[in-house]
Amino acid sequence: MDPGLVRLRLGGIAAASMILAVLVMSGVRALTGEPVTAVLMAGVLSMIGNLAVNEPDIRRLRVTTALMVPPALASVTAGTLLAPDRIVADVVFVAVMVTAVYIRRYGPRGNALGMAAMMGYFFTQFLKAAVGQIPFLLVAAAVGIGSALLLRGWVFAENPGRTVERMTRAFRAHVHRLVEATADLLAAAPDERDDALRDVARRRTRLNETALLVADRLEQQREDDHPDAGRDLLELDLLDAELAAERLSVATRRLVLGDHPPPGDVVRPLLAGMRSLGAATATGASPGAVALLRDTARRSVGAIVTGTPGPDDRAGRAVELGDRAQRVGFAITRLADALGAPDLQPDAPYPAADPPPAPAADSLPDLPGAGTPPPDPAPAPADAPDPEPAPAGLDLSTRQAVQVGVATSLAIVVGELVSPSRWYWAVIAAFVVFAGTTSRGDVLSRGSQRVVGTIGGVVAGMGLALVVGDRAVPALIIMFGCVFFALYLVRVSQALMAFWITAVLALLYGLIGQFSVETLVVRVEETAVGAAMGILAGYLILPKGTREAFGEALDTMVEAVDHTVTGAVERILGRGTPEAPLELARDMDDALGVLRARAKPLDNPLPRRRGRSSYQRALRVLTGVDHYARRLARLSDTVGSPGWAPTLQPAADRVLANLDGLRLLLHHREPERPIASAEDLVDTAEAHAARTGDHRRRAGELTVIRMLRRIDQAVVGFAQDLGGVPTPESDERNSRRTGAELRDVRGTTEPGPVS
């Protein structure tokens, strides 16, 4: 998926900059008669100039790209001069790679400069550059990086705000598809229900993936020189809309799969509300039409939402259907409210730096599910100690530099034994496989993907090279296409990137007259050696203390959330609390700040269980939990309902138990109590609140339930990605069992998960 066209733009600009660099150096070659080596150097460094620079701010991108020229020139010169002395050249090569990894501690700019130096040195070895070619190689390096700077920094410069706008539009489109699929499920005949359920599950997964991509983009932009306060609001608005859409699909599924089918007079208003929301999220809808359609959706389910079943009906079929239908109505209303966020409106400008002012603390929404923005956290006292102690052990970048040094040194030795003339492929494989990983599972995953992709690329490359031969024009055209696909897919799969890069290398060998099947077989062998050395170093060299520090901050954060939610629920139920919930919420905010600081060096994937797990994802989830818990603390000052304890307390306890289970999962430990959605318990508490006679009090209680539900949805969804709960597909298969089994499932406190 590429909702913001980020990968498409990167691949296209990289291919275009390579074409520009090759054309310029081809002109230089025509005038000077130099070999094709300089042309290839320009093309390669133009690719690196695009791939290695990951600055979200356009001004920083330009400066970083320009700063890549000096280290590239220095490494090209050193690599060419030292090439005749193999031992010295190898020692310097290892030193360059260690330095390239070490300076990653300075962020995206350090990473880009290190890659420029490392790749410049590497390709002098690969191309077997001669000392007499140094002037032309230096010109080629400058032209290659300069072409990337020109096209990406000016000609095709992208405004980060426009990228986020495109991604937000894509997010709305996926909300639209999920709402339409949910409406189709509600309207489906019994024999069409299985297909409709699968479609809803597929749409939920796509919505979740898109939301994660948008959040990733916002996280990248968080570190630029001009932080945007509206960005945090947008991230929370997206989380709110995502959870509201998922809640609608879950509530509808439960209504449809109940023991008794909903009658037509229940289905019609719910279906009308969903169709209105579907139209409101459709591409091309104007802001005025969206507002009207959202109001129409609310009115369609107004009678269901405000209905309060009488006591005489409580044991009957009508009440069960009424409760389930009311939950669907609430979900429609919540999604309509969530879509009202200014950042999610069609053609809405990028969020402004100044967020809208928060309403008074005692204000409550007029509609169930509506909310108010959270308060600004109170500033810490002037004499407060720094909450961020230095983590034990070596810094992450230092530790990785040592590991890369060991891995590449071993790769040189073993690679020389395999092929004295192609040893550098083992070195680059060890560097790429290991550098940037933070866990043994990640090292193993990257290593295996690299080997598999290389084998596939060898097969494809042999076919391409045999067809093209040494004909430069068709070889370059195909090479540009392969580079485009390599960069387009680099963030999707290491195997796919290795596949296309290996195909490029096969074409390069053909152009420089070194192609043979034996050469590509050696490429596979050297890649396997390098991957093995990287994995060995990752498993054996130096313990990793940074993740331990993150784990400590995680424990503190979860404990602070527990105290805040518990204090808020206690106050809502009329019980005394030793500390005010808002004071506990401030401690929670401080704990989140420490967690965020300790997550910065850990922005690489955890061992992937379902492909969407990361430290940054954990941080985003806990940021949302902090947001909802803080809202709950504010509500506890104005909402009081002592008689709510029999249903509210079990729901809150289950939500907090799930949060603690997620904490244990992130520590790679089994939860003491299985993680399972609190939906049924929250629904029961919501049903109690929905029967409250006073409208203002009912609105407040429903907002309290909304906060608990959002915390649970975020936590259980992430736990599901980590493999801690069943997948939505297995849940839906279980939901289609016999009526007796369905009654048993509904009678427990462990219903299916919410992704």
Q: For the residues of 102-123, what is the DSSP string, one character each? A: HGGGG-HHHHHHHHHHHHHHHH
Residue 608 pLDDT greater than 70, yes or no: no
Please indicate whether residue 753 or residue 679 has the higher confidence score (pLDDT).
Answer: 679
What's the pLDDT tens digit per position in 200-233?
989 988 887 787 778 767 766 655 544 444 466 6
Q: Report pLDDT for 320.
A: 62
**Average pLDDT for residues 303-322, to the nearest whole number?**
60
433 within 8 A of 446, measured Cβ to Cβ: yes
One-letter amino acid identity for 324? R
One-letter amino acid identity for 138? L
CATH architecture assignment, domain 163-344: Up-down Bundle (1.20)
What's the pLDDT tens digit per position in 394-418?
666 777 788 889 999 999 999 999 9
Q: Report pLDDT for 694.
A: 81
Neighbours of 730 (CB within 10 A): 13
CA distances (Å), origin 381, targets 360, 441, 627:
24, 42, 22
Q: Report pLDDT for 531.
A: 87
Q: Report pLDDT for 755.
A: 26
377 confidence band (pLDDT: 50, 70, 90)? very low
CA distances (Å), origin 225, targets 64, 220, 221, 587, 597:
14, 12, 9, 28, 17
3-state helix, strand and coil shares in percent for the chain, rounded to the nearest 5: 75, 0, 25
CA distances (Å), origin 733, targets 135, 181, 707:
67, 18, 29
**Average pLDDT for residues 140-149, to the nearest whole number?**
96
**Average pLDDT for residues 352-364, to the nearest whole number?**
34
441 within 8 A of 609, measured Cβ to Cβ: no
Q: Report pLDDT for 308.
A: 53
Q: Report pLDDT for 472.
A: 77
Closest Cα partner for 203 from 167, 163, 270, 248? 248
Whole-angstrom Cα distance, residue 58 to residue 125? 33
What's the pLDDT tens digit per position in 571-607?
999 988 888 888 898 888 888 878 877 776 565 433 3
SS3 550: helix
614 pairs with which residues across the strands? 605
Q: Report pLDDT for 614.
A: 60
Q: Report pLDDT for 542.
A: 61
Residue 468 pLDDT greater than 80, yes or no: yes
**Average pLDDT for residues 683-687, to the nearest whole number?**
89
Residue 152 pLDDT greater than 90, yes or no: yes
Q: Cα 442 vs. chain centroid, distance in angstroms?
A: 16
What's the pLDDT tens digit per position in 489-535?
887 777 888 899 888 878 877 777 777 778 888 888 998 998 888 88
605 pairs with which residues across the strands? 614
325-334, 420-429, 522-531, 744-753: range with lowest mean pLDDT: 744-753
- Greatest Cα pair distance, the chain, in angstroms, is 97
> What is the average pLDDT score of the chain?
79
Please indicate whether residue 662 or residue 604 has the higher confidence score (pLDDT).
Answer: 662
**Average pLDDT for residues 16-21, to the nearest whole number?**
94
Q: What angle do CA 349, 615, 623 make, to 5 degrees?
A: 50
752 confidence band (pLDDT: 50, 70, 90)? very low
Q: For the residues of 258-270, what is the DSSP string, one character each? A: SSSPPPHHHHHHH
Residue 544 pLDDT greater than 70, yes or no: no
**Average pLDDT for residues 443-461, to the nearest whole number?**
81
Please indicate whether residue 371 or residue 440 has the higher confidence score (pLDDT).
Answer: 440
Residue 189 pLDDT greater than 50, yes or no: yes
667: which 2 tokens? 């520590």
Please indicate whether residue 226 or residue 6 has the higher confidence score (pLDDT).
Answer: 6
Of the CA atoms within 13 Å of residue 367, those in its CB half-sphere come to: 20
351 confidence band (pLDDT: 50, 70, 90)? very low
Give residue limits of the domains in the chain. Answer: 1-158, 163-344, 397-541, 546-747
Q: Report pLDDT for 262.
A: 86
